[in-house]
Amino acid sequence: FKTLGWQCRDGLLGPSGKDSSDEVKKASRREKNRIAAQKSRQRQTLKADTLHLESESLEKENAALRKEIKRLKDEVKYFTTVLSSHEPLCSILSPQPGELVYSPHSFHQPHINSPRFQH
């Protein structure tokens, strides 16, 4: 009596003629693969969640920095206005009577014979 590779589950041969230990190994491998895939999906989800939180944090930081930049630009504008309105009135920037005003290149010229520069 010859079998065609088919026997009931309790028998020694499976549909392809392999013994039941091969089927057990295959089922075990499938289970391990299923668990590994599940862990991989969990890691991927955790990584995506972490990146999302980091992205939100960076967006908040970016918004705060943009606000700070605007505040500093407004401050520069204010001080520029204050300085430009102060310059015409400043006695330090205006030459005092009897004081000589030199251009940056005037020290290379022979007019430095004034008593102020003689030893």
What are the extents of the domains in the chain? Answer: 21-87
pLDDT in tens, 13-51: 555 556 789 999 999 999 999 999 999 999 999 999 999
In SS3 terms, 25-92 reads as HHHHHHHHHHHHHHHHHHHHHHHHHHHHHHHHHHHHHHHHHHHHHHHHHHHHHHHHHHHHHHHHHCCC
pTM of the complete model: 0.49
pLDDT in tens, 67-113: 999 999 999 999 999 999 998 888 887 666 655 555 555 555 544 44
Return the DSSP state at 95. Answer: P
